[in-house]
Amino acid sequence: MASGIKVDQRCIEAFSDLKTKKEKSNRPFAICFKIDQNDTIIVVDKIYKRPTGDATQESAFRLLVEELPCDDGRYVAVDLCVDAAAGETKTDRIVLLVWAPDSAPIKKKMLYSSSLRNLMEELKAKDHIQANDKSDLTYSEMMSKLSKRK
């Protein structure tokens, strides 16, 4: 079921920066998208900078998860360096997290679910992970899921 919710051009541009900027230090770490208050368009909610200095990917990911609302959905495109299988090198993976918390109103959860396909097509995103509780989004759980996917 398609929702008819459009994707703002700025979402596509921000995701393109995440995918294509050559210098990793110039790429964002993550982009949070939301459905606007009129339920008509998906917009950029927040862009997370790549961790620097003593900050780690894990601490940046934890902060991102902490900031997700408990009463509304979000889509989050995140660029993670994933440990590979033995004998292979680490790899960067961009994954789209679909946040639809159990505590959100049913209408919101349905909108996020039904708008996912359109967003993935517009962004040309290949992979997504659904989460309904923050316990689904622990860093170790995320790394485990991503390392098992090709």
**Does the reported pTM lie above 0.75?**
yes
* DSSP conformational letter for 73: -
Average pLDDT, the chain: 89
What residues does each domain of the chain span?
A: 6-148
pLDDT of residue 113: 94
For residue 140, the Cα-to-chain-centroid distance in whole angstroms is: 16
Q: What pLDDT digit, counting tens, does each position of 2-13 carry? A: 567 999 999 999
Q: What pLDDT digit, counting tens, does each position of 50-78 carry? A: 888 777 889 999 999 999 999 999 999 99
Residues sharing a CB contact under 8 Å with residue 32, sequence separation 6 or more, in sequence order: 44, 45, 46, 47, 48, 64, 67, 74, 75, 76
99 pairs with which residues across the strands? 74, 131
CA distance 39 to 114: 12
> Residue with structure tokens 């609302």?
69
Q: What mean pLDDT is predicted for residues 70-98?
A: 83
What CATH homologous superfamily does 6-148 map to? Severin (3.40.20.10)
Residues sharing a CB contact under 8 Å with residue 122, sequence separation 6 or more, in sequence order: 7, 11, 12
Which pLDDT band, with edges at 50, 70 and 90, does 35 fall under? very high
